[in-house]
Amino acid sequence: MTTQIQKYHIKNLDCANCAAKIEAGVKELPGVHFASLNFATATLHLDADNLSSVQSLVNEIEPGVTLHEFEQPEAELDSRVKWQVATLGVAIVLFVLGLIFRGRLASTPFGWAEIAVFGVAYALSGWSVLFQAGRNMWRRNWFDETFLMSIATLGAVAIQEYPEAVGVMLFYKVGEFVQELSVRRSRHSIQVLMEVRPDFANLKTGEEIRQVTPEEVNVNDVIVIRPGERVPLDGVVLSGASQLDTSALTGESMPRPAEAGDEVLAGSINKSNLLELQVTRPFSDSTIARMLELVQNAASRKARTEKFITRFANYYTPFVVLAALLIAIVPPLVIPGATFAQWIYRALVLLVISCPCALMISIPLGYFGGIGGASRRGILVKGANFLDVLANVKTVVFDKTGTLTQGSFQVSDVTAHNGYSPAELLRYAAIAESHSNHPIAQSIVSAYGKEVAVSQVDAFEELSGFGVQAKVDGNTILVGNDALLHEKDIPHDIGCCETPGTVVHVAVNGEQVGHLVVADELKPDAIDAVEKLHQNGVERILMLTGDRDDVAAQIAAQLNLDDYRAELLPEDKVAVVESLMADAHAGKLAFVGDGINDAPVIARSDVGIAMGALGSDAAIETADVVLMTDAPSKVAEAIQLGKRTRKIIWQNIAMALGIKGIFILLGAFGVASMWEAVFADVGVTILAVFNATRVLK
């Protein structure tokens, strides 16, 4: 059955642990085929037969949380947040007044004034926590952070430690509020990215220009982009010349020139002059639409660390409650002079410090920050799991043409045999290649310099990894590499293989009639890319190509590559990558390519990276990481970002567990009070959240 995954926005979701419970609960509902909740973007990816049952469960798990048709989260403070600020403000005022005048308040009959002041402050700050804990207990869901906070604070009330009960609840709520603001800030960073989505297009019909939505524009329609406007759809410039700001797509600040005949990508900003474009793709398939979809869906693919922390919390909280219970009961029974009040207090300290919020919120935020930070640099990572893989890459394999080299070939030599002139040879080759999008084919057509009519080609077939076959003027024309002639058993001039450059053979009716030589150049940052990869811990860098061995050897020497393999078909590339991945000590392998022939090997590698700006649709759809520019140095940047994200994630894990472990021991031995416990818990959470957001920068 084909799944129909829809996106929904979860409003008022500010608790990472609650998000994990909602996801787990929704997955268990009958009729739910797929569910993935991305806490960082408050987005639920869902394939379900009954949406109402999902909504009911969401609201049952977390009251006030609602499910809506997908929309971008708001960055501004809403009424709910303003209400939180007001109630917390009143609670803080009462708490401070209670501390200042505690002596006088306690001297009233039965201490009713003290109970009233701290009771109101406790109710204002903790009613939602108590309500949620009670609701969860009714549903037999005992162990979560609301349960920990409720037991700890009610226990403090029972032993008449009113200020500490209010202080714990108050600081817990303040910590939650700071978390909420941090989550909103991270969501807003993606909302800023979403603003590159164009709102309208100037559609030109005859002499009339009218504003329409980008979705209303069809392929081959003509649109006008005025100075300062954002390009709404992919297209080719018909008239005008201008400079385009592509920073939102590529992360590069340098404007790009655009003139008649140039391809322009949606999401760019027209900086200077009026442009007329002929649309080449509908909006749903445009560069910007695909980019935004990738970013929105990315964090739904959770990393192993995220999944581990969710499972860890399921065992961690019950263990903490059991440990606190033992601390409260056992020592007074076995230690002479120990009192229940003393050890119950220590148990309450343990419950406060053990809240898992720091881990549950900071780790998803860290991965989300990594994805958002990458997108700002023109690197689209399709899932948090791929950030982990990038961090462990030890082997990088590049395709050659269009990846390490410019892919902008020029015909440097035409040699004809068997009674054909160079002009005739070039004509046959150009007509046969006119239907191919391969860079070499386009260079041959460009060298021919004349327009090729569709009627001149009677039949056309692209032979993957070999070349093309076409019917021209009743003749069967073959244009391709040396392997093509071997495949067709056509004798040819072996001496031409010594010619520097890429040799393209031409055969007419089963007879070789000559060859062309096309030259390619390295990309400007190719050498720098290899150096940066080694600096980032990549141990082996290889190149795979279908080109001749001598051409590949020359490129490999220029780039100082560790190895190369030449004269490969697409299936040969897959076999080479599989053999490299079979080495258990080689670490993770990344393959970088741009063409349709690279799609199988991109899919087979641990992490497939596609050159996005000029890459084929097949390569981009198959890839795990898409580079919006064609700069190979972006590969090193992506790996560096993966390592940085992993480093921050593990910093948070070590910091949270380390500090909590220390204070648990201090609390158990009576050194740490409940005040120190709550400061440590909230402080660790806030530090972890702030540390997680560093990866955005």
Q: Which of 79, 64, 74 lies closest to 13 in space, CA to CA?
A: 64
Neighbours of 323 (CB within 10 A): 16
In the chain, the amino acid numbered 694 is: R
In the chain, the amino acid numbered 120 is: V
How far, in Å, CA of 639 to CA of 650, rounded?
17
Question: What distances in angstroms separate CA 506 from CA 323, 457, 576, 621, one per listed residue?
Answer: 80, 16, 29, 33
Q: Which of 636, 434, 422 lies closest to 525 in space, CA to CA?
A: 636
Determine contact, residues 478/497, Cβ cutoff 8 Å: no
What does R_g of the chain's alpha carbons equal in angstroms? 32
How far, in Å, CA of 395 to CA of 631, rounded?
18
Provide DSSP, 347-400. Answer: HHHHHHHT-THHHHHHHHHHHHHHHHHHHHTTEEES-HHHHHHHHTEEEEEEES
* Edge-to-edge strand list for the sheet holding 32-38: 32-38, 43-48, 6-11, 66-69
Query: Tokens representing 532?
Result: 């940066």
Neighbours of 150 (CB within 10 A): 22
Which are the catalytic amino acids? 399
Residues paired with residue 277 on neighbouring β-strands, in sequence order:
223, 237
How far, in Å, CA of 683 to CA of 690, rounded?
11
Q: Can you say whether residue 493 is alpha, beta or left, with left for phi > 0 and alpha for psi between -120 and 50 degrees? A: beta
Q: Which 3-state string (H, E, C) describes 349-361?
A: HHHHHCCCHHHHH
How far, in Å, CA of 10 to CA of 69, rounded?
9
Torsion sign across C-alpha atoms 441, 446, 448, 452: positive
How far, in Å, CA of 374 to CA of 625, rounded?
10
H helix and E strand count, the chain: 23, 26
CB contact set of 100 (below 8 Å; sequence gap of 6+): none
Cα torsion for 414, 420, 424, 429, to the nearest 10°?
Answer: -60
How far, in Å, CA of 151 to CA of 153, rounded?
6
Largest CA distance in the chain: 120
Provide DSSP, 564-589. Answer: EE-S--HHHHHHHHHHHHT-TTS-EE
Bridge pairing between strands 563-565 and 540-544: parallel
Residues paired with residue 460 on neighbouring β-strands, in sequence order:
470
Query: Tokens representing 523?
Result: 């990309």
Q: Which 3-state string (H, E, C) describes 476-505?
A: EEEEECHHHHHHCCCCCCHHHHHCCCEEEE
